[in-house]
Every structure is written in C-alpha cells, then in structure tokens.
Amino acid sequence: MARLPVGIRFIVSFSRDQWYRAFIFILTFLLYASFHLSRKPISIVKGELHRYCAAVNEGEVEFNSQNQKAGDVPPHQRPDNETDCGWAPFDRDNYQQLLGALDYSFLCAYAIGMYLSGIIGERLPIRYYLTFGMLASGAFTALFGLGYFYNIHSFGFYVVTQIVNGLVQTTGWPSVVTCLSNWFGKGRRGLIMGVWNSHTSVGNILGSLIAGYWVSTCWGLSFVVPGAIVAAMGIVCFLFLIEHPRDIACSSTLTAHSKGYENGMHRLRLQKHVLMEKNKPLDPEMQCLLLSDGKHSAHQNHTIVLPADAGSGVAAISFTGALKIPGVIEFSLCLLFAKLVSYTFLFWLPLYITNVDHLDAQKAGELSTLFDVGGIFGGILAGVISDRLEKRASTCGLMLLLAAPTLYIFSTISKMGLEATIAMLLLSGALVSGPYALITTAVSADLGTHKSLKGNSHALATVTAIIDGTGSVGAALGPLLAGLLSPSGWNNVFYMLMFADACALLFLIRLIHKELSCPRSAMGNQV
C-alpha cells in the first residue's frame, strides 16, 4: 500500500472536532476584524475633512496659476461644499469639536446599545443576529461615504449616520465572544483569546490601509469599500457560522468527551458531573475572585441559582443577576478607563501624527498602524502571562502600571523625530491594548461561565455586553475629551490618558490583593 502524502497525513492527524474548532476560530476572527475595519476610516479621513489652509494654498496657488497661463482646465474640480480648508462643515475653526462630536455620537450609541445587545442576543440565534448587524453596519458605513459623492454638508446627516452605525455594531462583540467561548474550554483561554483578539489590531490596520488609499483622492471610497466588506462578511456569517458544537455533535472543550456525552444520556452525565464538582477545589482564578472575606467559602456566599439546566431550554440570566457575579463590576469599571485610552488613540492618533510629525493624512494613517501592531503583541503577551501566573487581574494591573509612564514618555519624545515616534507607538500599543484585550476576551469568558451560574452558558453574552458596554462609556468619553483638550495642547490630552490609566488600576486593587493572597500551590490547576 502506498504511503499517504505529507499533506494528507497532516489533515488526518487532526480530529473532526479540531478542524471545526479551527474553522470557527478563523471565521469569528475575520468577522470581528471586519467590524473594526469599518470603524477606522473616520480617524484616517479627519486629516482630509479639515486641512491646513496655508499648506493647501501654498501648494495649489502655483499649480493653478500655471494651469491658467497654459489655458488648461484643472484636472480635479473641487466640489461646491469643499473649501481650501477641507470639507464643510468641518472647515471651520471649531473643527476639532465637530470631529469629536462624530466620535462621541458613534461611541455613545455603541455604549448604550451594548447593554441591550447582550440581553437581546441571549434570546435570538447568534447567526441571524450577527448577520443582521453586519449587513446594517455595512450599509451605514457606506452611507457616510456617500456624503462625498452627493455633496452632503449637513452636520446632522453625519451625526445620525454615526449614531445608527454605533447601535447596529453592538451586535458583534457579544455574539462572537459567546460563539468562541462555546467552542473552547477554559484551558489556555488567555493564550487562545489573546491570539484571537488580535482581530482588533488586524482590522484597524486593514482599515487604515484601505481608507488611506483613497483619503487624498476620493475619501468617500474610504467608507464605501469597508462598508461593502462588512456586508459581504455578514453574508459569509449567515452561510457558515455554527453557534454551538452541539449543533453538529462536536465536543465543547479541547479534550474529547465520551460518546455518551453526545447522545440522549448526556443530561444524566451532566448531573453527575455537577455533583462531583462540588467536591473539587475551585480553579485558582475563580477562587480568588469568589472569596469575599478570608473566612467563608465561595459557594456559601456567591451562588446564583437559576431555574434552568444545561440543556437547550436554559433561561437567560437577568441584568442584575449578571452584576452579582463576583468581579464583573470591578473589571467593568477598569475597562471603562482602559478603553477610554485605547479608543482615544484609535480615533485621534492619525491627526496627532499629522500635527506633530507634519505628515499628510495617508502617511499618518499608515504610521498609526504601528500602534495596532504593538497591540497584537500586547494582547498575546497578556494572555500568556495570565495563563502562566493564573492571575488575570494582576496581569492587567502590571501592564496598566507600566502604561502610564510610557504615555508620558511618548508625549515627550515623539516630537523629536519619526524614529522616536515609531518606537513609542509599538511600546504604547502593547501596554495600552494588553489589559483591554484580556478583559474583553478571557476575563469576560471566565466570568460569563462562572461556577456560580451552575452551568448556565446563556449568561455569557449578557456578561460580555455589561463589561464591554461599560468600557464603551469610556470609549465615548475619551475621543470627546481629546477633542475638547487638544486645542489647548496635546500634552493635556496625554495627561488625561495617564489619569485614566491610574483610575483603571485603582479599580483592580481589591482583586489584585485577593489574587496575591492566594498561594498558587494551594489553588490547583485550572479547569
């Protein structure tokens, strides 16, 4: 018998469950990367919506005079609502406040909608819910760009478009986190979700490059093309997304289960498993979070009884029930300030680079992607460290502690030249994005599958939405404050970011203390 080719041997070396799990990992990665891809254009186009009049006039006066002497017609006729200072209504002196209002409109709607999205998402099929959100998001992202082609200069048009887009984009995060957590168990969750969460940075990088390609020639396409990509991925989601491994008789953890778990007897085995769990020690991370004092056990003080089993008829958890899960409030408030810092960079970094390094909008957008490259490494590093130390809060605290002085150094030496800016973009991206990535993925999944929930997996989307929704309040405030503070100097913006990092660290102090007070040797291994 002939020996199988190397490629075929590689394929058959993995089980059916592993191939499906890898497929869901890649699919959800691409789905949410497309969401972030559609959020990035507004930050790239800001430099084109309002340009420095002096720089534009100096470059165009000589060009136009030469054309007039030669009797030529200018190759590009400026639209009626575009002035030498940019695109009306953003050509005014208060352009920074107007641009900040666009960011605030999107992010405020996103924050409010996120609290409702998790509750709705628990009660609807994820595939339909996510598909609707992606199609609607693609439509409203493209609608913003159509303002260029139809010469729309109404500020209200752009604000309303941002608000609706912010609302429909809330369908994304709870859906993809819930789906991924259904497919992956808790083992190595920090590493797996740290790698997976790089979709944020990958989406930002692709969004910057796509938007930057057209920003100087036809900025409307900087929105239309990303909008079309998101809508196309929504169709892919409808055709291929598998919400839960039980839908195709796969196991839900990285370790294989017996066939009896997959047939009609699995409920009896689950009941037996739950009884056995009562006699097992808690995993180290949850043990530390559950201990409200040093005297009482976690099961005595923090048990949330839900009238449901682990089958398909599980009742969704209430909003107040999710808040009672130990650690949800602290991590939510921490994320509020951590996301404030991250989204301020997301929406204002290209304009800052344009002002400080005197680059055009396209080059500034390309350079800003280095912050997201650093974010990829920061998210993975945070996941690896938290898995190894078995301390999520302590890992976040350490990175937040290092991020504040790094931001001060960034504000100081980024004015010294392009090389210094590149180095600080990579370092700042890693330290700022690390805690944000860890909280929104591994920590949210841990708390959403908390032992006090008695196996109710239907709490995950609600918990994820609460944590990310609270963080999105900070995401809305950050760009708004940046727009208000930047006219008085960029140093004030960085002082605001450093203060936010300190506040984020402050809300984790209690959890860090409990983690450090639990000896690792006494905690056992994670489940």
Residue 134 CA to residue 137 CA, distance in Å, equals 5
Residue 433 CA to residue 140 CA, distance in Å, equals 27
Enter the DSSP assignment of 40: S
Q: Which helix (H) or strand (E) holds 110?
A: helix 95-121
Return the amino acid letter for 329: I
What pLDDT is attached to residue 368?
A: 84
ω into 89 cis (within 30 of 0): yes
Q: Which helix (H) or strand (E) holds 83?
A: strand 82-83
**What is the residue-averaged pLDDT of the chain?**
78
For helices 418-438 and 328-357, give the axis angle rounded to 10 degrees.
160
What pLDDT is attached to residue 165?
A: 96
pLDDT digits (tens, 9 = 90+) for 52-91: 554 444 444 443 444 444 444 444 444 444 445 678 888 8
Mean pLDDT lowest among 20-29, 35-44, 66-75, 206-215 = 66-75
Report in angstroms the alpha-carbon separations of 152 from 50, 80, 124, 146, 280: 15, 10, 37, 8, 64
Residues in the chain: 527
- Per-residue burial over 216-234, b if 16 or more Cβ lie within 10 Å, else e, is eeebbbbbbbbbbbbbebb
Structure tokens at 326: 């130990």
Structure tokens at 439: 């909280």
Enter the DSSP assignment of 87: E
Q: How many other C-beta atoms can be found within 10 angstroms of the C-beta atom of residue 283?
A: 17
Q: Residues of the chain with pLDDT > 70: what percent? A: 75
Sign of the Cα pseudo-torsion (320, 326, 330, 335, in order): negative
Q: Residues of the chain with pLDDT > 90: what percent? A: 31
Return the amino acid letter for 374: G
Residue 170 CA to residue 348 CA, distance in Å, equals 22
Model confidence at 289, pLDDT cuts 50, 70, 90, reads very low
Q: Where are the alpha helices (DSSP H) in 184-246?
A: 189-196, 199-214, 221-240
Return the amino acid letter for 284: P
Of the ranges 10-19, 121-130, 234-243, 376-385, the best mean pLDDT one: 234-243
Q: Which helix (H) or strand (E) holds 129?
A: helix 126-149
Sign of the Cα pseudo-torsion (271, 272, 275, 281, in order): negative
What pLDDT is attached to residue 334?
A: 94
Q: Pairing state of beta strands 82-83 and 86-87?
A: antiparallel
Q: Is the pLDDT of residue 288 over 80?
A: no
Residue 429 CA to residue 375 CA, distance in Å, equals 5
Which domains, and CATH codes, for the chain? 26-51+84-248 (1.20.1250.20)
> Bigger pLDDT: 128 or 205?
128
Q: Is the pLDDT of residue 526 over 80?
A: no
Q: How many other C-beta atoms can be found within 10 angstroms of the C-beta atom of residue 397?
A: 23
What pLDDT is attached to residue 12?
A: 86
Structure tokens at 122: 């628990």
- Per-residue burial over 32-70, b if 16 or more Cβ lie within 10 Å, else e, is bbbbbbbbbbbbbbbbbbbbeeeeeeeeeeeeeeeeeee
Per-residue pLDDT, averaged over 232-258, amounts to 80
Query: Could you tell me which residues are beta bridge partners of residue 87?
Result: 82
- By the 8 A CB rule, do 31 and 229 touch? no
What pLDDT is attached to residue 315?
A: 57
pLDDT digits (tens, 9 = 90+) for 324-352: 888 889 999 999 999 999 888 888 888 88
Structure tokens at 229: 């990509």
pLDDT digits (tens, 9 = 90+) for 87-115: 888 888 888 788 888 888 998 899 889 88
What pLDDT is attached to residue 452?
A: 56
What pLDDT is attached to residue 149?
A: 95
